[in-house]
Structure 1
Amino acid sequence: MSKKFIRLPEVKNKTGLSRSSIYLRMSNGEFPQSISLGNGSRAIGWLESDINAWLEQCIATSKGRAL
């Protein structure tokens, strides 16, 4: 399986969360952590697979079954 990084605008689009909600949930351990995309670079991204797994967990939790 290939690893694809996605940037904040796509994460916001996929999750429906605002930037501040994403960072708040990250700091509370309720959202996947971002990954630095280079040494000394301020650019960050998320593994698309991590975001998809988080979404699946949210769906399962809302339907009353834990993954």
Structure 2
Amino acid sequence: MKTIVLKDITKNTVELPLIFLRRKAVEQMTGLSKSSLYQQIQLGEFPAPVQLTKTGMAVAWLNTEVNLWMQSRIQQRK
């Protein structure tokens, strides 16, 4: 399984497997609604999804990008 190494908010190195997350999973992880999620993408404040099919009918987000976004939100509250 492909993994990526990230630094978490405590500056520790964390190795995460690369996983595609579908929209409902992203909503659950972030607490954002569907409309808020796509609004944040339009504003460039949330990672854009990856097209899983040529038609673009199926999209997903990389867990690592969602985790980095969540960490950035945590750091902003300090």
Could you state the TM-score of these two structures normalised by the residue count of structure 2?
0.77
Deviation by residue 1:36-64 (Cα, 9 ceiling, x = unmatched): 0022240000000000000000001111x
Amino acid at match of 1:24: Q
**Aligned match of 1:3 in 8, 18, 24?**
18
Cα RMSD (Å) of the superposition? Answer: 0.9
Q: Which residue does the alignment assign to 1:51?
A: 66
Amino acid at match of 2:22: R
In structure 2, C-alpha distance between the alignment counterparts of 1:58 and 1:12, rounded to whole Å: 15
Unaligned runs of 5+ in 2: 4-16
Could you state the TM-score of these two structures normalised by the residue count of structure 1?
0.88
**What is the percentage of aligned positions where both structures have the same residue?**
35
The answer to which of 51-60 and 2-11 deviates more is 2-11
Deviation by residue 1:2-37 (Cα, 9 ceiling, x = unmatched): 421000000000000100000000000010101100
* Greater fraction helix: 1
In structure 1, C-alpha distance between the alignment counterparts of 2:45 and 2:77, rounded to whole Å: 15
Compare CA radii of gyration and give the structure with the larger one: 2
